[in-house]
Amino acid sequence: MSTFSRRQILAATGAVIVLGTATARARGSLGATPEPSPVADLHPALVTAKELADLQGASSLVAVMPDDAFAKRRIAGSIQLDWAELELKDTSDEAVAAWTAKMQELVAVRGIRADRPAVVYDEGTLFAARGWWQLAYLGYPPPTILDGGLPAWIDEGEEVESGPEDISPVEAPLLENAIVQRSLLATKADVLAVLDDPDVLLVDARAPEEYAAGHIPGARNVPYTDNAVAESPHVYKPADALRAMYEAAGVAPDKRVITYCSTGVRGSVAHVSLRLAGYQQVALYVGSWNEWGADSTAPKTTGNRP
């Protein structure tokens, strides 16, 4: 269990904020027909390190990184979410419902609030996208992403802090009346149902060698690293460049798109990138290849073609 600063603990005890007029609690809304979003739009926004420096104190900072990276260096006052603890290996209805409740509790105990804008960042991995997806899925206002992550912050000359924090977390109230955004999540059953649907496309965000070793039939391979510039800090490519890249891979903007990888982390980067590029209907197969590959009955193909 990670530990948190006194400022985070005080934040965690704040009032619960109600979003929209819906009355259903998040943990009861996993039906086949998703409810409308309680937020204005589900498209991610990017913030530069310079812009974030001007916003400090007005935003909740969420570091999406493992314990060792968080202890090594972070922006002062950050709340930690380890992307590994967000994993879902079984996307059956019962497992998704239990996992959703667990994620609600996790976000609450970390003190992530909905009465102030959240900014998610990583240590240069692009994995802040996993935090973006998680909060958006749970019905929180989708956070802003620090473009380029912590390396961009450091390049701007801003200070970081390090070392463990030894104060235990205090559970915050769950976000009342949040509506789980079921349309953002694809299950194994969802993917099986659309394998032959020409209006749905799959994007595999893993490395080419992983893709060639085995992938879901019909999936296009666009490695997650291709969504950002090669040099550090790894800022996202411009929207028009992202759109051109996906279109060149055969991912048409008018199709529904399901992204995946091994555990849903790299697939989240593809998910965010597609939304940055203007794609409207994008879901993450959160179980990804770890679930699909382990199922002997799930169809698979090899090689470097869909």
Query: Does residue 49 surpass a pLDDT of 50?
Result: yes
| pLDDT tier at 129, thresholds 50, 70, 90 | very high
Proportion of the chain above pLDDT 70, given as a percent: 80
Same domain membership, residue 171 and residue 270: no
In a domain, 97, yes or no: yes
Same domain, 25 and 94: yes
Averaged pLDDT for residues 116-143 = 92
Same domain, 89 and 197: no
> Do 142 and 51 lie in a common domain?
yes
Confidence of residue 171 (pLDDT cuts 50, 70, 90): low
Distances (CA, A) of 285 to 122, 191, 232: 22, 8, 28
pLDDT value at 201 more than 70: yes
Domain CATH number, residue 217: 3.40.250.10
> What does the mean pLDDT of the chain come to?
84
Measured in degrees and rounded to the nearest 5, phi and psi for residue 200 equal -125, 130
Average pLDDT over residues 7-16: 31
Query: Could you report the per-residue pLDDT of 64-109, keeping only the tens digit for each?
Result: 999 999 999 999 989 999 999 999 999 999 999 999 999 998 998 8
Q: Is the dihedral of CA 32, 36, 39, 42 positive or negative?
A: positive
Tell me how far CA of residue 37 lies from CA of 16, 41, 136, 220, in angstroms. Answer: 19, 8, 10, 29
- Residue 215 has what DSSP assignment? B
Quickly state the pLDDT bin for 16 (edges 50, 70, 90).
Answer: very low
The whole-model pTM stands at 0.85
Specify the pLDDT at position 229: 97
pLDDT at 58: 63
Whether residues 96 and 140 share a domain: the answer is yes
Last residue of a domain, one of 150, 165, 182: 182
Are the C-beta atoms of residues 146 and 236 closer than 8 Å to each other? no
Q: How confident is the model at residue 37 (pLDDT cuts 50, 70, 90)?
A: very low
Q: How confident is the model at residue 174 (pLDDT cuts 50, 70, 90)?
A: low
The last residue of one of the domains, among 131, 154, 182, is 182
In the annotation, is 128 catalytic? no
Task: Kindly name the residue from 12, 65, 172, 261 that is annotated as catalytic.
Answer: 261
Q: pLDDT of 241-261, one tens digit each?
A: 999 999 999 999 999 999 999
Structural domain that includes position 78: 6-182
Q: Are residues 12 and 123 in the same domain?
A: yes
pLDDT of residue 123: 97
Q: Is residue 304 part of a domain?
A: no
Q: Of 148, 165, 182, which closes a domain?
A: 182
H or E stretch at 11: helix 6-12
